[in-house]
Chain A
């Protein structure tokens, strides 16, 4: 190797050493973001397998990962309809949370009096543990499906309501003055100013609500307890635990976890899709 010239004039196309370093670091971070969790995953599964095999733990206490995977495939015929029920309740509850949470928030911003009257009761619904009201709901509501839906909705709607309310009121004061100066109607103000301003807040609430509606759907079914047609994954877990069918219990648990992760990722992606053009939270700093 020959010695490099001491001072070369910076030419375009030649990467600055610091910049190159930064780019490398960023590329490494991008890979690490996926690789590291995957490595941890593999390590934990390996450890799990090793603990079970080395100590010869019976499968009715702790099944190994291989057996769980096998059960998941073998019992999928039984688990799939239940999974479908849980999914249906989760998504309906989430949809109701969006409609009623968002709708109520819009109503609140249209009238301070309505907000003052009803907001405290939304808080009451929020702070009451769902397991404590679920039994009552199942007494008064005939249909189990409706009862489950109601429980999941109660858990999920508050983040949407409170976040959207905050967002609708967070519009820039000068922009509001501008609307007044241009004599915008109530509807125009809502459509052109308040709703777009509330969008990032709403999406934040939605992401929380997505997880909560799944939790609500599962928890409510634990309380409801009874089986029969239209039973969700929670009932399969209860059933498996009565019968000491621990591998199936794990399989059902895995389906719930996968669902939760998928909902989170989907809503994060939706959020990115809607905000990445303009909102700071979704904008990657360039250079």
Chain B
């Protein structure tokens, strides 16, 4: 057993405590069918401006947790309390696949969330353009998704999630299918964008490195049944640039996170 497993997460230097609460998961559980416990007793406080990573092995309920927050499914037990009901309707979501409409251009894909609110294309042109600008795809507004590379499609998907200026962005392994070079680039860009918008992010990942680089809080989860195993803080100031990846602090955080993950998976923690 490592110290991380039971140690309560140290509050990130009194900074997070000051920020207002966005939502709280209170002992949330979800059972599929008769006896598949996808998630058990998950408690999590999300504060405005948090970048939280859910890190864990396959099947530990990470996607289930996101779907619960997005209200695509409802808890079997416990509840999710939103401190500000207005924020509840202000959600951006990015899935593992880009999930674009192949029949629509890049700009029209980004337009979708606004279109669903009854806004015309001309009316949203500026917002759509700004969102595409943010992800660096302004030049591709009129392209069709099939003409883009995997990384570019993912950027469009992010632009679509951002276009409504959501209070909370949920991302479910958005970069898992991309090569490492593209992933690093998108990680960097994501932090820059997040900084600009001041959004709150909950980010699901399999990658220890990704979670440490991106987040200020890492929630390590365990499977069978899905549950929160430990929470780690990464009290490293933003903006974090490429240099952070090679710093000794980064190495220390990844070691701690790897150990927590190994413990969550029931294996012996490797000596990093």
Is B72 at the interface (CB under 8 A from chain A)?
A: yes
Stretch in A9-17, A175-183, A213-221, A265-273 with 4+ CB within 8 Å of B: A175-183
Give every chain A residue within 8 A of B115 (Cβ-Cβ): 192
Shortest distance between the CB of B148 and any CB in chain A (Å): 12
Check A175 against B101 for contact (C-beta < 8 Å). Answer: yes
Q: Chain B residues near A197 (CB, 8 Å)?
A: 103
* Residues on B with beta carbons closer than 8 Å to the beta carbon of A279: 102-103
Which residue in B72, B99, B102, B112 is a CB contact (below 8 Å) of A180?
B72
Contact B89 A277 (CB under 8 A): no
Answer whether residue B82 sits at the interface, using C-beta atoms and an 8 A cutoff.
Answer: no
Chain B contact residue count (CB 8 A cutoff): 22
Contacts of A180 in B (CB 8 A): 72
Q: Which of B70, B89, B99, B144 makes the CB contact (< 8 A) with A278? A: B144
Any A CB within 8 A of the CB of B95: yes
Q: Is the CB of A177 within 8 A of B72?
A: yes
A-B contacts counted at CB < 8 A amount to: 51
- Complex interface residues of chain A between 172 and 201 (CB less than 8 A to chain B): 172, 174-175, 177-184, 188, 192-193, 196-197, 199
Number of interface residues of A (CB under 8 A): 22
Residue A20 lies at the interface, judged by CB distance under 8 Å to chain B: no
Known: A179-B116, A184-B116. A174 touches B99 (CB 8 A): yes
Q: Mark interface residues in A263-287 (1 if CB within 8 Å of B CB, else 0).
A: 0000000000000011110010000
Interface: B113 (CB within 8 A): yes
Interface SS majority for chain B: loop
In contact, B93 and A178 (Cβ under 8 angstroms)? yes
- B146 at the binding interface (Cβ < 8 Å): yes
Contacts A179-B116, A180-B72, A192-B115 given: A277-B99 contact, CB under 8 Å? no
The interface residues of chain A lying within 8 Å CB-to-CB of B67 are 177
Which residues in B have their C-beta under 8 angstroms from that of A179?
116
B101 and A199 contact, CB distance less than 8 A: no
When the two chains form their complex, are residues A277 and B144 in contact, meaning their CB atoms are under 8 A apart? yes
CB–CB A174/B116 < 8 A: no
Please, how many angstroms separate the alpha-carbon atoms of A183 and B102 in the complex?
21
The answer to whether A199 and B99 touch (CB under 8 A), given A177-B72, A179-B116, A181-B93, is no
Docked-complex contact A196 and B103, CB < 8 angstroms: yes
B86-118 CB contact bits vs A (8 Å, 1 = yes)?
000101010101010111100000001101110
- Closest A-chain residue to B144, C-beta based? A278
| B95 nearest in chain A by CB position | A174
Known contacts A174-B97, A182-B117, A199-B103; 18 further A-B pairs (Cβ under 8 A): A175-B101, A177-B70, A177-B93, A177-B95, A178-B93, A178-B112, A179-B116, A181-B71, A182-B113, A183-B89, A192-B112, A197-B103, A277-B103, A278-B102, A278-B104, A278-B145, A278-B146, A279-B102
Q: Which 4 A-B pairs have the closest CB atoms?
A: A174-B99, A196-B103, A174-B95, A182-B116
Residues of A within 8 A of B (CB): 172, 174-175, 177-184, 188, 192-193, 196-197, 199, 277-280, 283
